[in-house]
Amino acid sequence: MSPKTDTKKTTKTIAGGFTADEKAAMKARAQELKAEARAGKDRAEGEKAILAAISAMKDPTDRSMGKRIHEIVTAAAPELMPKTWYGMPAYADADGKVICFFQAASKFGVRYATFGFQPDAKLDEGNMWAAAFALIKLTSAEEAKIIALVKKSVS
């Protein structure tokens, strides 16, 4: 095959390789970028978007965890701006960079929700550290860990 054919095949494979959920997440992200451009750094708009994203979660466990994570993050790091990121609750720094996020298990049909951090979170610890955590249930122990991590991420 010629290189031109290989390129077409690769492009076709990559373009056709996304699942419906992944395509929906990318579409949601494009809409979020447009909304961010219109709203600027409007805390009330971000709060409204997060609460809408949480209420739209399919699974009641995801909704309750999303709501509690939102309460925890906004209390632990009030300087972070609430927003959605790929349709999920996220929290950004003053430069608009996502620091932490919650991803519902039902979003991609996996067995656990995820609470994660992006590279701008200040969690560096030696040569290796965790950047995302699986969540099945939120107890006071998990809440305490999340509070400590969120506070560290913005320190």
Q: Where are the domains of the chain?
A: 19-153
CA distance 110 to 34: 29
pLDDT string in tens for the chain (155-residue length): 444 444 443 333 355 688 888 888 888 878 777 766 555 567 888 999 999 999 999 999 999 999 999 999 999 999 999 999 999 999 999 999 999 999 999 988 999 999 999 999 999 999 999 999 999 999 999 999 999 999 999 99
Backbone angles phi, psi at 3, to 5 degrees: -60, -35
Q: H helices within the chain, ranges in order? A: 3-16, 20-39, 43-55, 60-76, 140-153
Q: Whole-angstrom Cα distance, residue 47 to residue 53?
A: 10
Q: Which fold has domain 19-153?
A: Aspartate Aminotransferase, domain 1 (3.90.1150)
Please report, for residues 9, 19, 39, the alpha-carbon distance to residue 44 in angstroms, rounded to integers and kept in the order given.
46, 32, 9
- Residue 71: name the closest of 147, 153, 154 by CA: 147
Q: What is the pLDDT of residues 88-108, one digit of tens each?
A: 999 999 999 999 999 999 988
Taking Cα atoms as reference points, which of 125, 2, 23, 146 lies closest to residue 77?
Answer: 146
